[in-house]
Amino acid sequence: MAKARASYVCNSCGYQSAKPLGRCPNCQAWNSFEEEAPAVAAVKGRGGAYGGITGGKLTALSTVGRREEPRTSSGIAELDRVLGGGLVAGGVTLIGGEPGIGKSTLLLQVADRVAKASGPVLYVAGEESLEQIRLRADRLGVSAEIQLTRDTRAEHVAALMAEHKPALCIVDSIQTVTVEGEGAPGGVAQVRDGTSMLTRAAKETGTATVLVGHVTKDGTVAGPKVMEHIVDTTVFLESVGAFRLLRSVKNRFGQAGELGVFEMRGEGLMAVENPSAAFLAERPVGVAGSVVAATIDGQRPMLLEVQALASKTPYPNARRVVVGLDPRRVDVVLAVLERRLDLTLGGLDVYVNLAGGLKVPDPGLDLAVALAVYSAVVGRALPGNVAVFGEVGLAGEVRSTQAALRRAEEARRAGYTRLVVPPGLDGQPGVKSVEEAVGAVWAQVPAR
């Protein structure tokens, strides 16, 4: 019988190879491969093809009861929004983010609120001393009695969960958790088996559990990819200018793609209840090339500023610089402007920017880009009460976008009374082409 061969796994991204490689072809990490023991295959023998092993019990779907998973509020509305309504009893959440971005700060604030409202909280400190956590707690004004431990052995953490049955368990971080007999902490087998053991303990005790995960240089959670499949929810905390964005990429108990906006202050991460106002706070009024656009980031409608600038180029080939938007879509919009509106752009450098530092690949921003570039070229500002959204096709037509009603409601809530949008919204005629959009914004197109 052929001998089972060992495989090698990248401890950064989980890529598998039949032999060790100096550099991972998936995440480009150097010297990251570790040997993983082969799985023991079933042996044929007497009693059937599977050695006499019989199948388990079957349950008909119609006999399975219906049960709503109980939730516990984290005490932070923006976090509850991302999680789909709060922390689920027995649910496991993995939160990733760059070092120093605020993961531990946010979770210590959550621990304080949960401990005051719902019950005891267990905090497993794998990376910091208890004194460091106390200093942060004093800075954040944490006054609840949180139970701390430096013991990162997965078996012991599971035993503490079974003994005390806390309402919330925070493990900071999963890369420091060890499983007996599985090698060095942070290895592929350690992270995978530690996640599995803590997930099983969370399900058995009904403890809402949050695991902090390191990220690699490409922004993904470090460790085997199977770790993200084990947990119930995966969220990422990212930095955008002065703000922190919390985004869910997987959620078994709610809508994936939800977005929460925070601002880092001296007293911790503070929720931004009105992101549209925050991102438009520094928008210049009455300046050519500035357009307010209604967009959807994940499942959240927001108002952002699309900026454009056009200037004569000193180079043989004009430059196109795009920040925060899809450069290929911007090139399409510029081609439509030249072909359908006879707007001369050949001798102009064109710069397009999504103000605020966000990166939003939303086709619904096409019309805002078209009007911003047109405004910058002709030198005429849009009225201050206009908001725009719509996709632009190659024929110059304006197409409908997803969540159009929510975009419009967000714009009206922010005080924008004139909407330049595709047809069919609230029974309004809308604009069918870029030419109609220009006419809707300016009653008379100025001469170029």
Annotated binding site for ATP: 97-104
Report the relative pairing of strands 398-399 and 391-392 from DSSP bridges: antiparallel
- Tell me how crowded residue 240 is: count the other CB atoms within 10 A of its CB: 14
Dist CA 28 CA 9 (whole Å): 13
Question: Could you tell me which residues are beta bridge partners of residue 245?
Answer: 238, 261
Task: Read off the DSSP letter of residue 85.
Answer: S
Cα(318)–Cα(397) distance, rounded to whole angstroms?
26
Name the 3-class secondary structure at 205: helix
Tokens encoding 140 = 């954040």
d(CA 271, CA 425): 31
Q: In the structure encoding, which two tokens stand for residue 254, read together?
A: 């709610």
Strand order of the sheet with strand 7-10?
16-17, 7-10, 33-36
- How far does Cα 117 stand from its chain's mean position? 28
> Cα separations (Å) of 38 from 16, 18, 268?
12, 11, 46
Q: How many CB atoms lie within 10 A of CB 428?
A: 12
**What φ, ψ does residue 83 adopt, rounded to 5°?**
-80, -5
Which residues is 292 bridged to in the sheet?
305, 387
Where is the binding site, in residues?
97-104
* CA 86 – CA 72 distance, rounded (Å): 5
